[in-house]
Structure 1
Amino acid sequence: MRRLPLRSLTVLAAVGSLALTGCGTQPGDAGDRAAAGAPGAGRTIRAQQVMQLTEVHEQTGMTLLEGPVFGQDGGLFVVDVTAPEGEPKVLRVDVRKKTKRAVHTDGRGAYTSAQFSPYDGRLYLTDFAHGEIVSLHPDGGDVRTFFSGEVDGARMNPDDLAFDQDGHLYVSDSCGLREGEALGRVVRVDRDGEKATVLADGLAATNGISFDAEYRGLWFSELTENRISYLAVNADGGVASRHTAIRVDGGIAQTDSIAVDADGNLYQGLHGRPAMAVYDRHGERLATVEVPARAAAAGLESATNVAITPGGTKAYMTVSGPAGGYLYTFDALAEGTRQSNGG
Structure 2
Amino acid sequence: MRRRPLRPLAALAAAICLTALTGCGTQTAGPGDRGAGGPNPHTAGGPGGGGTVRAQKVVRLTTPHEATGMTLLEGPVFDERGDLLVVDVTAPAGGPKVLRVDIGRKTSRQVHTDDRGAYTSAQFSPYDGRLYLTDFVHGDIVSLAPDGSDPRTFFSGEVDGAPMNPDDLAFDRDGHLYLSDSRGMSEGKAIGRVVRIDREGRDATVLAGGLAAPNGISFDERYRGLWVSELTENRVSYLLLDGKGSVASRHTAIRVDGGIAQTDSIAVDADGNVYQALHGRPAIAVYDRHGERLATVDVRGRDAEGLESATNVAITPGGTRAYMTVSGPAGGFLYAFDALGKGIRQSNGG
Q: What TM-score results when the alignment is normalised by the length of structure 1? A: 0.92
Give the aligned residue type for 1:220: V
Give 1:15's aligned residue: 16
Q: Deviations over 1:72-102 (max 9, x none)?
A: 1111010000000111000000111211110
Give the aligned residue type for 1:8: L
**Of 313, 336, 339, the match for 2:343:** 336
Matches within 5 A, 1:222-233: 222-233=230-241
- Cα drift, residue 41 of structure 1: 0.5
CA contact (8 A) 1:14 1:61 kept: no
CA contact (8 A) 1:255 1:270 kept: yes
Tell me, in whole angstroms, the C-alpha distance in 2 between the residues paired with 1:153 and 1:134: 21
Give 1:6's aligned residue: 7
Tell me, in whole angstroms, the C-alpha distance in 2 between the residues paired with 1:38 and 1:302: 18
Give 1:327's aligned residue: 334
Which one is further off, 243-252 or 2-11? Answer: 2-11
Q: Does 1:61 align with 2:69?
A: yes
CA contact (8 A) 2:58 2:106 kept: yes
- Cα drift, residue 5 of structure 1: 4.2
Give 2:30's aligned residue: none
- Cα distance 1:17–1:38, how it changes in 2: closer, same or farther (>3 A)? farther
- Cα drift, residue 181 of structure 1: 1.1
- Cα drift, residue 138 of structure 1: 1.3
Q: Does 1:166 align with 2:174?
A: yes
Tell me, in whole angstroms, the C-alpha distance in 1 between the residues paired with 2:48 and 2:150: 49
Give the aligned residue type for 1:16: C
Q: 5+ residue gaps in structure 2? A: 21-44
CA contact (8 A) 2:46 2:295 kept: no
CA contact (8 A) 1:14 1:82 kept: no
Tell me, in whole angstroms, the C-alpha distance in 1 between the residues paired with 2:48 and 2:289: 19
Tell me, in whole angstroms, the C-alpha distance in 2 between the residues paired with 1:4 and 1:94: 33
Give the aligned residue type for 1:329: A
Secondary structure at 1:294's aligned position in 2? helix
Secondary structure at 2:81's aligned position in 1? coil
Give 1:306's aligned residue: 313
- Cα drift, residue 6 of structure 1: 3.3
CA contact (8 A) 2:47 2:296 kept: no
**RMSD, aligned α-carbons:** 1.7
Secondary structure at 1:166's aligned position in 2? coil
Give 2:92's aligned residue: 84
CA contact (8 A) 1:314 1:331 kept: yes
- Cα distance 1:92–1:168, how it changes in 2: closer, same or farther (>3 A)? same
Identity %: 76
Give 1:33's aligned residue: none
CA contact (8 A) 2:99 2:109 kept: yes
- Cα distance 1:210–1:61, how it changes in 2: closer, same or farther (>3 A)? same
Q: Does 1:315 align with 2:315?
A: no
Secondary structure at 1:193's aligned position in 2? coil
Q: What TM-score results when the alignment is normalised by the length of structure 2? A: 0.90
CA contact (8 A) 1:67 1:305 kept: yes
Q: Does 1:278 align with 2:286?
A: yes
Q: 5+ residue gaps in structure 1? A: 20-36
Q: Does 1:266 align with 2:265?
A: no
Tell me, in whole angstroms, the C-alpha distance in 2 between the residues paired with 1:4 and 1:156: 22
Give 2:187's aligned residue: 179
CA contact (8 A) 1:302 1:320 kept: yes
